[in-house]
C-alpha cells in the first residue's frame, strides 16, 4: 500500500491544476514553489480540512 498523502499534497492536488491553467508552459518546479508559498500564507483554519482529511486517510491506511 502507498503511504497516504499529507495535508499539503491533498491541497496541492487541486490547486496545481488551477495554477497550470493560469501559467501554461511554466516548469513544474516553479509551480511547486508557488504552491509552497501559497500554502505557507494560508491560515491554520484554512488548512484544517486538509489536516483532517490526512488524519482520516492515515487511519484508514493503518487498518
| Residue 19 belongs to domain with CATH number | 1.10.30.10
Structural domain span for residue 56: 7-62
Contact 35/16 with Cβ under 8 angstroms?
yes
- Overall domain count for the chain: 1
pLDDT tens string for the chain (63 positions)? 689 999 999 999 999 999 999 988 999 999 999 999 999 999 999 999 999 999 999 999 988
Amino acid at each position: 500500500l502507498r503511504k497516504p498523502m499529507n495535508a499539503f499534497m491533498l491541497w496541492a492536488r487541486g490547486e496545481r491544476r488551477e495554477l497550470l491553467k493560469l501559467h501554461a508552459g511554466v516548469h513544474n518546479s516553479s509551480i511547486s514553489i508557488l504552491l509552497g508559498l501559497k500554502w505557507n500564507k494560508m491560515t491554520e483554519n484554512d488548512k484544517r480540512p486538509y489536516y483532517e482529511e490526512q488524519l482520516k486517510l492515515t487511519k484508514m491506511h493503518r487498518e
